[in-house]
Amino acid sequence: MWMIEIPPFVPFFIGALVLLFTRGMLRSTIMIAIPIVSAMHLVMVPEGIHLQFAFLEYQLTPYRVDKLSIMFGYVFHIAALIGIIYSLHLRDTMQQVSAMLYAGSALGAVFAGDLLTLFVFWELLAFTSVFLIWARRTQRSYDAGMRYLIIQVLSGVILLVGTLFYAHENNTLAFGYIGLDSVAGWLILIAFGIKCAFPIAHNWLTDAYPEATVTGTVFLSAFTTKVAVYALARAFPGAEILVYIGAAMTCFPIFFAVIENDLRRVLAYSLINQVGFMVVGIGIGTALAINGAVSHAFNDVIFKGLLFMSMGAVLQMTGRINGSDLGGLYKTMPKTTILCIVGAASISAFPLFSGFVSKSMVMSAALEEGYDWIWLMLLFASAGVFHHAGIKIPYFAFFAHDSGLKANDPPNNMLLAMAIAASLCIAIGIYPQALYSLLPYDTGYNPYDATHVLAQTQLLFFSALAFVWLNLKGMYPPELRSTNLDFDWIYRRAMPNVLQHIFSVIWQADRTLRDALKLRLNIYLNYFSGKNGRLSILLSRNYPSGSMVMWVAVVLATYLLLSFIQ
């Protein structure tokens, strides 16, 4: 059947092309239809390799379906649909086309069966998504988009170098388990790590996502990091270093999130924190841990999308996103408030919400494998994520002091998108078996036993108590208009400053050197011209050198003529 052979990125790319030539209702219909039709198609596709051809001496596999890739395939379709509904009110061809291409690239990457195809989509992800940042059309977003693009392309280049090394060593391009016992493995890990927002390489995310458009951030939050998580899960399951990297990722962003003022940047930090849980799961590498990582990625796309959508709605309706400017919006945006709280409860992993059924798998796996300290860090991060994403986001946006802002709930399409995401969060939380049946391994895990539920509820309620206590004591840091330095200070401030300093020193030295040389040359020139002046009195007082040359030519020509005559 030829239909099977159409990889899921094709309808999205064709759709993007069609969008260029349509507008109005027709365009909206096409945009909604594409993810739905493509998802229905994907449900019918059996596992296996559906497209393969030879390129030079290598086998390329642009379309491979297995348990791992199809999970991400499903959730990317859901994310694309939700994002498209959320952005239906837009009249901006650039954003709509690039969002479509971006979703297609993500699907292309997760169904890629070889490293070269992966590389192509890896770079496409960067080039298509950057327009969602630039579409804000401000100087800030332009600069942030540039930095984002440079880092993303760098990741792609490292991936390409790693791929070439890998192909040379193993004589195959097949994308499967790679491991860390060769240079190629490390290079590929670094490339994945940059896109996955590993510590130190994480600032492209916190820098660019909050600068993107209201709807662009929703798309951005869904795809890039999850493609990287998928790639890690495929290539490096059980690599112990990932456990420590992931644990660091869960912990350090929450400190920044607590003091950050831009609420979408708070969410960007908590995105890193959630990806950290997935990376830990991949690093542990047992069936339960991988299941936990993959299902958490699935849930995170939905609940993080929901939170970004609710904050996007606030930004759209009030024109502000800083915690210091907002507050009291529950009065005029009640629906958004409720939907945001559902997202907050999901990311905080409250029982009966989606985060709980996936995060607890990673935590249990960490305990089972004897990573005690890692488990403690994850537990701290769980309390922390509730603190900043679960309480801080809704509290400062919708409650806290009354900012006096009067806004309405956003347009219906935005509310609908949020409602779909919120119902998925609750549905997965209540009936996790539906999600578990899609997972790569069958572990028979049940999140709803008394121990888990009680422990998690205690942890969360006492975190809330801590928030209340700190607030009543006046110890909670107020929201302040500020920029907080992070690692990006190194390349946005320190390195340019150092370079500027070095160059100014070089220029200074260059100038003094040249001045000295010029002076010396002048002296010599004067000396020679003086000498010449004295000589010229004897030979050529006022004949120009041009006539001298002519007379020399005439003499030589005469000489030549004479030689012929002879």
Q: Does 368 bind another protein (CB under 8 A)?
A: yes
The residues that bridge with 49 in the sheet, in sequence order, are 64
Comparing CB distances to another protein, the nearer of 41 and 335 is 335
- Is the separation of the CB atoms in 429 and 354 below 8 Å? yes
Among 43, 49, 485, 554, binds another protein (CB under 8 A): 485
Pairing of strands 48-55, 58-65: antiparallel
Among 458, 536, 540, 558, binds another protein (CB under 8 A): 458
Among 77, 387, 415, 432, binds another protein (CB under 8 A): 387
Q: Does 259 bind another protein (CB under 8 A)?
A: yes
Q: What distance in Å separates the CA atoms of residue 522 and residue 392, rounded to the nearest whole number?
A: 71
If one counts every other C-beta atom within 10 angstroms of the C-beta of residue 142, the result is: 13
Q: Does 543 bind another protein (CB under 8 A)?
A: no
Binding mask 181-220 for another protein (x = CB under 8 A): ----------------------------------------
Comparing CB distances to another protein, the nearer of 138 and 558 is 138
- Is the separation of the CB atoms in 135 and 213 below 8 Å? yes
Among 1, 56, 450, 565, binds another protein (CB under 8 A): 450
Q: Does 338 bind another protein (CB under 8 A)?
A: no
Q: What distance in Å separates the CA atoms of residue 552 and residue 256, rounded to the nearest whole number?
A: 83
Q: Does 171 bind another protein (CB under 8 A)?
A: no
Q: Which residues, in sequence order, are CB contacts of 449 under 8 Å at separation 6+?
A: none
- Nearest distance, CB of residue 261 and another protein, angstroms: 8
Q: Which of residues 28-57 bind another protein (CB under 8 A)?
A: none
Q: What distance in Å separates the CA atoms of residue 231 and residue 562, rounded to the nearest whole number?
A: 87
The DSSP 8-state label assigned to residue 555 in this structure reads H
The dihedral through the CA atoms of 106, 110, 115, 116 has a sign that is negative
Structure-block tokens of residue 192? 């994945």
Structure-block tokens of residue 395? 């509290």
- Nearest distance, CB of residue 92 and another protein, angstroms: 17
Among 53, 139, 437, 563, binds another protein (CB under 8 A): 139
404 SS3 class: coil
- Nearest distance, CB of residue 421 and another protein, angstroms: 25
Q: What distance in Å separates the CA atoms of residue 137 and residue 374, rounded to the nearest whole number?
A: 42
Among 13, 148, 269, 467, binds another protein (CB under 8 A): 467
Q: Does 408 bind another protein (CB under 8 A)?
A: no
Q: What distance in Å separates the CA atoms of residue 6 and residue 4, rounded to the nearest whole number?
A: 6
Interacting residue ranges for another protein, rule: CB under 8 A = 138-140, 254-256, 258-259, 319, 330-331, 364, 367-368, 372, 375-376, 379-380, 383-384, 387, 399, 406, 450-451, 454-470, 475-477, 480-486, 492-493, 497, 500
